Amino acid sequence: MKTQQTAEGVARPAGRPRSEKAERSIIEATLELLGEGIGVSELSIESIASRAGVGKTTIYRRWSNKEDLVVDALATLKPPIPLPQGGTVRDDLVTYLRVIQEESRHHRTRCIMNIAMSDSERHPRLAERFRELAVEPRRAVVAAVLRRGMETGELRADLDVDMALALLSGAVIWLTKWSHPGDSHADLPERIVDEALRGFRPRPSEP
Amino acid sequence: MKTQQTAEGVARPAGRPRSEKAERSIIEATLELLGEGIGVSELSIESIASRAGVGKTTIYRRWSNKEDLVVDALATLKPPIPLPQGGTVRDDLVTYLRVIQEESRHHRTRCIMNIAMSDSERHPRLAERFRELAVEPRRAVVAAVLRRGMETGELRADLDVDMALALLSGAVIWLTKWSHPGDSHADLPERIVDEALRGFRPRPSEP
DNA sequence: GCGTTGCGAAACTTGAGCGTATCGAAATCA
DNA sequence: TGATTTCGATACGCTCAAGTTTCGCAACGC
């Protein structure tokens, strides 16, 4: 493969350049299909090509296997909406759980759960990638809110941040996954946060 | 198909009776494969037959499709170990979370998460069956413990049981799924329960 | 214009799994 | 013993998707 020299001095292959548009629509189609509940193992190159309006050749030219493609697709997932750090810890937590809850309804981010939960054992690379991109950033934001609360005295100074995170995040996932279809979830974030902040034991002042 | 009359008067088909052993090993093979992380859609009758040491005919003679077979396989999952209702609520909860945590390491019960989480949208029948068999019984046990605590005064009388359940169960799932591989989880149940019971806010007596 | 490379479409081979059929052997009852 | 049914094994035709190749056209630099 001969290369050509651009004005900027960047080496560049001869011939027709690869279409960025095709590349984007391949990624997009992959995320769409995953978002519709298709698992990684059932995801077929043909379906991606057809959905993207692209030849299979165009895909194989860029990615040698399906997993590489999915990794790149996951890499385009956007970081979470930053939290408005204005109010009380309680309000910030509610706001954030609400964002997570809302995201879990959205097609695009629904692939989170599908891939993360079911394919984590067969595709450890994907799971790890996903952790980095989707789980950790959110963890970090909530952890920051909790630590702020510990400093201001709104939360216990000896709070176990890891456990607190697990309680909050786990509850949202659990409820959105397992509650009965008809149930309303409008006030879930408030209820979760309030129970978590308050604790299960009675206070001395409420015998 | 002619039938024969047994001594008990129960109608019974002529010819060689179906082998219960074959039936058991088919179910067993199905659960094994699911427990290894194979999704329902990738689960093939051929692989089940091969694993069970059985002809495909023997499977098709009993189940007309894959989903029916999986439903029957799920039906053999054992109900949860009953909780030793002896100690304090705190201890009972720790014991129970420990059981769940231990189960989630076990091959057999690991298919719980895989099927439940990933196939719930494409196979609603399975998801519902699974809810009945695996989720609800456990929910019920923990709910009973919580309610006992509310009566004895060990827990708040106005505790939101649904949220409490979600916080506890969600945390266990979350942690076993998403914590780093190397982490030790030996004391997770205690930490989860203690944080949940105590709550995140400082008590009046601990400013 | 020419060489090179990418493009989408289609044809192709290969392999997996489906559901059915057939086989000889085994189990059961009359 | 004979009738009946199941057993495991194997073969068959079918569909679907994988991954490769070919084709004619398009886009780029020279």
Round to whole Å and give the CA distance between A61 and A64: 7
pLDDT for residue A34: 87
**pLDDT band at residue A84, thresholds of 50, 70 and 90?**
confident
Per DSSP, the residues of A138-172 read HHHHHHHHHHHHHHHTSS-TT--HHHHHHHHHHHH
- Contact: A177, B117; criterion CB under 8 Å: yes
> Which chain B residues contact residue A204 at CB under 8 A?
203-205
User: How far, CA to CA in Å, does A48 sit from each of A30, A54, B100, B168, B185?
Assistant: 6, 8, 39, 40, 40
pLDDT tens digits for range A95-140: 988 888 887 777 677 666 777 677 777 787 888 888 888 888 888 9
The pLDDT value given to residue A179: 64
Nearest nucleic acid nucleotide to B60, CA to C1' distance: C19
Confidence band of A145 (pLDDT split at 50, 70, 90): very high
pLDDT recorded at residue A182: 60
Asked whether strand D has any atom less than 7 Å from the CB of A44, the reply is yes
- pLDDT over 60 (residue A181): no
Predicted confidence at residue A177, as pLDDT, reads 74
Q: Which residue is nearest to nucleotide D19 (CA to C1')?
A: A60
* Residue spans of alpha helices (H) in A63-199: 66-75, 89-103, 107-113, 124-130, 136-152, 161-178, 188-198
The nucleotides of chain C lying under 7 Å from a protein CB are 3-11, 16-22, 26-30
For nucleotide C28, give the residue with the nearest CA to its C1': B16
Strands, DSSP E only, in chain B? 3-5, 11-13
pLDDT at A2 over 60: no
Residue at minimum CA to C1' distance from nucleotide D27: A16
Tens digits of residue pLDDT in A4-50? 444 444 566 778 999 999 999 999 999 999 888 788 888 999 999 99
Residues of A in Cβ contact (< 8 Å) with B39:
39, 41-42, 118
Strand D closer than 7 Å to the CB of B47?
Answer: no
Phi, psi of A189 (to 5 degrees): -55, -45
Q: Which residues make beta-bridge pairs with A4?
A: A12
Full-model pTM = 0.82
Residues of chain B with confidence (pLDDT) below 70: 1-12, 107, 112, 116, 179-184, 204-207
